[in-house]
Chain A
């Protein structure tokens, strides 16, 4: 079973690269949705069946695969320009840095003192590199929607890490994380709306210039 899980994680890592390299916001949203669905399958594959696990799987697929992407797609559809046209760091350098980060996270995970049953798994390196990819997206992009996408990637990384502890982790914690995420996305959606109303664009770099109103 762990082999299938590893293949899913490889797929997830590839999707990170797609998000890092694509300039179209709609594509990025869809890719993150696919990633969420793939990750939702992960607990079902890794662990034995239990009610609480199936809830986690179902919640993950529903929230990350459908609800949040729908909200984001609506936000993207309302934008005038549907592309990340001018990021702080270009797409190719971001891709290359993402590749380096992935390589480093594999090296790092090899040195961590993990429990023996987690030693050979892809879970830890995949988690770290997804986290880093999310951070990269947040740091290098201008638009608020892209930053939300980066936040989602980061959260996916945390979820992968959580797979090591799922059997030990009570259901409430997982549900709390998902709820947190949903609230975060709502808040960001409201902020995006406000930014657009104020500046008629969602370029967050304009927020750095303070002025009296």
Chain B
């Protein structure tokens, strides 16, 4: 139990930037480039943490608190969700709602930190972020409700506890729908390509990149790291729905978990390589589709 919690914490802290590296490498290979080393995100974050910061005179403590709170919050969310072990370090009845609103809190702090700079440009990014987040949240909530109904438990640990294969034949269709919806949500929440291109700096297309333009040095490093952790945590949720089979051997389970995280990163990289960024007006459309998918999954579970 103690070793499980230790491994859990170590993975949540150390592994996330690797996923970003894997995504970048996958995209590079698809484009026929050799790409940056897999550990490049770690080097980037370390470089940023060794720099100094520049703060605009219009900013207050909120600007500095934003990234810190976001990181603390996603790390807390990482403790609520089980990884390789059947048990999460913390679980209680109803922690799925806490999980949901922790993400909302992180988003809120990112948004007010961006607004704190007083630049209209970052205000625009905040408006977009808030809008799309509104549309993404119901999908997450619907999928949690469906999982709660399937498993009869209101905590993430109970919800994602490994189901037997017999149940899969019964509940396969709703689970597939949840998977589709959640995959779209992961891409949206982590500003991946169909929604937002993390590499561009074009005013018209930016959603998330706009909001962190004024952050520099260690704070910017924390933002990058926090984004990676967010991808890791949401990915864990998706993985538990996609591979609801447990071997019973602890070591093997952890190995399967890490491998499936890397597989998810490769999938995201492929998605990014194969798709173009959507026009901004089309984004709500895709999010509405994701919400309808998850709602339909919930409906099938409820019958």
Contact = CB atoms under 8 A, between A and B. Distances in A.
A7 B172 CA distance: 8
A95 B292 contact: yes
B162 to A, nearest CB: 21
A14 B292 CA distance: 10
B288 A96 contact: yes
Given A3-B169, A106-B303, A110-B303, A17 B296 contact: yes
A143 interface: no
A17 B290 CA distance: 12
A28 interface: no
A92 interface: yes
B170 interface: yes
Contacts of A75: none
Contacts of B278: none
Interface residues of A, number: 20
Interface in A66-122: 91-92, 95-96, 99, 102-103, 106, 110, 122
A96 B303 contact: no
B292 A91 contact: no
Interface in B274-303: 284-285, 288-289, 292, 295-296, 299-300, 302-303
Contacts of A125: 303
Contact of A106 (B172, B285, B288, B299): B299
Interface in B27-62: none
A10 interface: yes
A6 B169 CA distance: 11
Nearest to B292: A99
B134 to A, nearest CB: 14
A103 B296 CA distance: 8
B244 to A, nearest CB: 17
Dominant SS among interface residues on chain B: helix
A13 interface: yes
A116 B129 CA distance: 50
B285 A91 contact: yes
A17 B292 contact: yes
B14 interface: no
Contacts of A106: 299, 302-303
Given A7-B173, A125-B303, A92 B296 contact: no
Given A3-B169, A106-B303, A21 B289 contact: yes
Contacts of B302: 106
Interface string B164-201: 00000110110001000000000000000000000000
Contacts of B172: 7
Given A7-B172, A7-B173, A95-B288, A13 B303 contact: no
Nearest to B302: A106
Interface string A140-173: 0000000000000000000000000000000000
8 contacts: A11-B173, A92-B284, A95-B289, A99-B292, A102-B296, A103-B295, A106-B302, A110-B303
Given A3-B169, A92-B285, 5 more contacts: A3-B170, A7-B172, A95-B292, A103-B295, A106-B299
